[in-house]
Amino acid sequence: MTERVAIFDTTLRDGEQSPGNTMNAQEKLRVAKQLESLGVDIIEAGFPIASVGDFESVKQIAETLKNCEVAGLARANFDDIDRAWEAVKHAAHPRIHTFISTSDIHLKFQMRKSRDEVLKMTEESVKRAAKYPANVEFSAMDATRSDWDYLCRVLGVAIEAGATTINVPDTVGYTVPDEFAALIRYIMEHVPNISQAVISVHCHNDLGLAVANSIAAVKAGARQVECTINGIGERSGNTALEEVVMILRTRKDLFAFDTRVVSEKIYPTSRLITSVTGAPVQPNKAIVGTNAFAHESGIHQDGLLKARLTYEIMTPESVGIPKSSLILGKHSGRHAFRERLENLGYPLEDKELNLVFKRFKALADMKKDVYDEDIEMIIMDEVVRVPEKYRMVYLSVVCGNMAIPTATVRIEVDGQVHQEAGFGDGPVDATLKAIQKIIKTNSKLLQFAVNAITGGTDAQGEVFVKLQEKGSTVIGKGADTDVIVASGKAYINALNKLEFVKKRKDTDKSPVKSEKSP
Ligand code: KIV
Ligand code: ZN
C-alpha cells in the first residue's frame, strides 16, 4: 500500500522572501494557479500581516483556488493570527500556519523569552487559530537546534490546543539525515498525542542537505514536506519540490509513499518560476536543469540509443520536458495553439489567448522553428506583467566595428509618445541611455543577463535586467529575436515594475512591513 505524503509548497512565501525573488500580486496568482494544477496539497500564499500587498495577494489566491488548501503565515500572536484568518477565510480549504522559535539560542538572543513563556504563547496562539474553521499548523522554528525534550513539550501543547499539523523546521539548514530522522522518531515516541497530528518537515539547504533531510524524515514518519519550486528560498534555499517528488516516484522500490503531484507539470512550473523571478536554474540542477537529461559522453549516448534504461533513471517526458519541443508553425490554427498551451500548463482566457496568438504569428513569420520556450516567453510578456506606464514603440540602432553605437527610441509614457537618441559604449548601452533620456530614473543597474531561449542563430534572446531603487529590487524581462530590442524591453519592463512597486508602497501603510522575514 502506498501512503500519501502531503506537499506543502512555500514558493510564494519562503521562496519569494529571498532577495531578487519578489513577485507582484498578478505574478503570485499565476504561480498559485500553476501550483494548484501541479497538484500540491497546500500553498502557503504569503504572510498576511507583513504588508497590505501581501494580505491582498493571499486573499485573492484564497478566493480563487478550489483544489488545494491555502495557508497564511502568522507569528504566535493574536494580531498576526486574526490577520491571517481574514486573508484565508474565503478559501475552499483555509489553513493558518503559526510559528514560534523553540531553540535556546533564539529564545535568549532574539525573543528574550523564557521556555515557559514560549509554551504559554504556543498554547494561546494555537487556541486562537483553532477557534477559526481552518486547519491549524504549528511550527517550532529552529527545531533542529532545540532541546529535544522541550521541543516535544511544545509540540504536545500545540496539538492539545488544536494544531492538526506540527512542523519541524531545520530553519538554519544545520541538521543531517540520520540526526533528523532520529529527531522525528523521538517526537513520535515522546509526544503522547502525536497521533492526532500530521508531522511536517521544513528544511533549508545551507549544507546542501535539505532534500536528503526531508526524505530521511519521511522514512522516519513525517507525512508532509514543505518545499519550493527550483528550491528557491532564504539563503541557499529550501527543499526542492521537484526532487522530493521524483525521488519518491523513481525509487518506489525503497519508498512506499507518493504525492499527488502531476509530475509532467514540473518542468513548465519550474520555467514559470524562472520567468517570473528572473532567477535562472543552474544547468546541472537535478530534474529541471537544462543539462539534467543531456547526455554528452559517447559511451552514454551509445547506451541510450540501445536502451534508454542504460543511463536514464526517469524520462524527460515524465517531468514535462517535451520530447521535441518544436511546436507549431506559422500555419497553425488557434485551436491547436490553445491545446498546446494547455499541455504546457497555461490555460489562457480568450482575451489573453488572442494577444499571445498574435505575437506567436508575428514570431513564426520571422523565425522558422517556434519552440515551447518561445511561447512561454511571449506569455510572460503579454499575460504575466505589471501595468505599463512605459511602452516601447520603436527602436532603431546603428552599430558595428566602424560606427559609434547610436540608438533612437520612441516610448509611450502614459499614452504620450516621446522620442530620443543616445550614444553608448555598445548598442545596449546606447539603447539604455536613450531610454533614460525619456524615463528619468535614479535606479541602479545591478545585473544584466542575456540567454538564447532555444538553439540556432534565429533563436529569441531572453534578457533579464535587475534594477534597484530606494531599497526595492526588481527584475525586468524581455524577449525578442533581436537581443538589443529584448534588452530595451527588459529595461523598460524593470522600470514599469519599479513604478508599480513605488505606487504599492504609497498605498501600503502596514506598520510591520520591516519585520517580514520569519
Ligand atoms: O525556516 C523556518 O523556520 C520557517 C518557518 C516560518 C516555518 O520558514
Ligand atoms: Zn523557512
Q: Are 301 and 264 within one domain?
A: no
Confidence of residue 328 (pLDDT cuts 50, 70, 90): low
What is the domain extent for residue 61? 3-277
- The domain boundary residue, chosen from 382, 398, 433: 382
Does residue 298 sit within a domain? Answer: yes
Does residue 282 sit within a domain? Answer: no
Q: Which ligand is nearest to the CA of 238?
A: 2
More confident residue, 444 or 279: 444
Q: Which residues contact 122 (CB under 8 A, 6 or more apart)?
A: 76, 100, 138, 154, 157, 158, 161
Secondary structure element (H or E) that encloses residue 185, with its range: helix 177-190
Cα(262)–Cα(57) distance, rounded to whole angstroms? 25
The proportion of the chain whose per-residue pLDDT surpasses 70, expressed as a percent, equals 92
Q: Are 415 and 344 within one domain?
A: no
Cα 4–chain centre separation: 23
Residue among 462, 496, 490, 460 nearest 476 (CA): 490
Q: How far is the CA of 5 from the centre of ligand 1 (A)?
A: 19
Q: Are 366 and 408 within one domain?
A: no
Does residue 137 sit within a domain? Answer: yes
Q: Calculate mean pLDDT across residues 35-46.
A: 97
Cα(410)–Cα(388) distance, rounded to whole angstroms? 15
Please list every protein residue whose CB sits less than 6 Å from any atom of ligand 1: 14, 99, 139, 141, 167, 169, 171, 202, 204, 518
Taking the chain, what is the end-to-end CA distance rounded to the nearest angstrom?
Answer: 38
Q: Are 62 and 24 within one domain?
A: yes
Q: Which ligand is nearest to the CA of 47?
A: 1
Residue among 81, 209, 179, 91 nearest 137 (CA): 81
Does residue 517 sit within a domain? Answer: no
More confident residue, 387 or 479: 479
What b/e readout covers 249-276, taking b as 16+ CB neighbours within 10 angstroms?
beeeeebebebebebbbbbbbbbbbbbb
Q: Are 48 and 162 within one domain?
A: yes
- The domain boundary residue, chosen from 357, 382, 407: 382
For 80-94, write each residue's pLDDT tens digit. 999 999 999 999 999
Does residue 441 sit within a domain? Answer: yes
Cell numbers found for residue 1: 500500500
Confidence of residue 411 (pLDDT cuts 50, 70, 90): very high
Residues that place a CB less than 5 A from ion ligand 2: 14
Confidence of residue 348 (pLDDT cuts 50, 70, 90): confident
Does residue 289 sit within a domain? Answer: no
Q: Are 80 and 221 within one domain?
A: yes
Pocket-testing residue among 111, 141, 213, ligand 1, by greatest number of atoms within 8 A of Cβ: 141
Residue nearest atom 5 in ligand 1 by C-alpha distance: 141
For 229-269, write each residue's pLDDT tens digit. 999 998 999 999 999 999 999 999 999 999 999 999 999 89
Q: Is the pLDDT of residue 376 over 60?
A: yes
Report the CATH number at residue 497: 3.30.160.270
Does residue 10 sit within a domain? Answer: yes
Pocket-testing residue among 139, 205, 236, ligand 1, by greatest number of atoms within 8 A of Cβ: 139
Secondary structure element (H or E) that encloses residue 85, with its range: helix 78-88
Averaged pLDDT of the chain: 89
Q: Are 221 and 201 within one domain?
A: yes
Report the CATH number at residue 103: 3.20.20.70
Pocket-testing residue among 171, 199, 234, 515, ligand 1, by greatest number of atoms within 8 A of Cβ: 171
pLDDT at 511: 41
Q: Calculate mean pLDDT across residues 21-28.
A: 86
Q: Which ligand is nearest to the CA of 224?
A: 1
Residue among 73, 79, 44, 75 nearest 61 (CA): 44
Q: Are 414 and 447 within one domain?
A: yes
Cα(8)–Cα(449) distance, rounded to whole angstroms? 32
Q: Is the pLDDT of residue 99 over 90?
A: yes
Query: φ and ψ at 455, to 5 degrees?
Result: -80, 175
Cα(84)–Cα(71) distance, rounded to whole angstroms? 8
8 A C-beta contact, residue 217 and residue 8: no
Least confidently predicted of 185-199, 295-309, 427-441, 482-496? 295-309
Q: Are 327 and 425 within one domain?
A: no
pLDDT at 439: 96
Pocket-testing residue among 73, 202, 226, ligand 1, by greatest number of atoms within 8 A of Cβ: 202
Classify 369 in phi/psi space as left (phi over 0), alpha (psi -120 to 50) or beta.
beta
Q: How far is the CA of 73 from the centre of ligand 1 (A)?
A: 10
Q: How far is the CA of 59 from the centre of ligand 1 (A)?
A: 21
Residue among 293, 374, 292 nearest 329 (CA): 374
Q: Are 115 and 33 within one domain?
A: yes
Residue nearest atom 2 in ligand 1 by C-alpha distance: 171
8 A C-beta contact, residue 271 and residue 320: no
Atom number, ligand 1, closest to the C-alpha of residue 10: 8
Least confidently predicted of 348-357, 413-422, 471-480? 471-480
Q: How far is the CA of 171 from the centre of ligand 1 (A)?
A: 6
Distances from the Cα of 49 to the Cαs of 156, 183, 509, in angstroms? 27, 32, 11
For 154-186, write each residue's pLDDT tens digit. 999 999 999 999 999 999 999 999 999 999 999
Q: Is the pLDDT of residue 515 over 60?
A: no
Q: How far is the CA of 494 from the centre of ligand 2 (A)?
A: 28
More confident residue, 209 or 351: 209
Q: Which amino acid does the sequence have at 257?
A: F
Least confidently predicted of 20-29, 212-221, 383-392? 383-392
Q: Is the pLDDT of residue 512 over 50?
A: no
DSSP bridge pairs for 408: 396, 421
- The domain boundary residue, chosen from 246, 277, 308: 277
Q: How far is the CA of 346 from the centre of ligand 2 (A)?
A: 29
pLDDT at 347: 76
For 58-73, write each residue's pLDDT tens digit. 999 999 999 999 999 9
8 A C-beta contact, residue 98 and residue 125: yes
Confidence of residue 324 (pLDDT cuts 50, 70, 90): very low
Tell me how many domains the chain contains.
Answer: 3
Cα 217–chain centre separation: 23
* pTM, to two decimals: 0.79
Q: How far is the CA of 233 from the centre of ligand 2 (A)?
A: 7
Q: Is the pLDDT of residue 472 over 90?
A: no
Q: Is the pLDDT of residue 305 over 50?
A: yes
Q: Are 268 and 157 within one domain?
A: yes
Strands 94-101 and 135-141 turn out to be parallel
Residue nearest atom 1 in ligand 1 by C-alpha distance: 171
Atom number, ligand 1, closest to the C-alpha of residue 518: 6
Q: Which ligand is nearest to the CA of 227?
A: 2
Does residue 190 sit within a domain? Answer: yes
Atom number, ligand 1, closest to the C-alpha of residue 234: 1
Cα(118)–Cα(14) distance, rounded to whole angstroms? 23
Q: Are 241 and 137 within one domain?
A: yes
pLDDT at 388: 83
For 357-374, write each residue's pLDDT tens digit. 988 888 888 776 677 777
Query: φ and ψ at 42, to 5 degrees?
Result: -135, 135
Pocket-testing residue among 99, 205, 236, ligand 1, by greatest number of atoms within 8 A of Cβ: 99
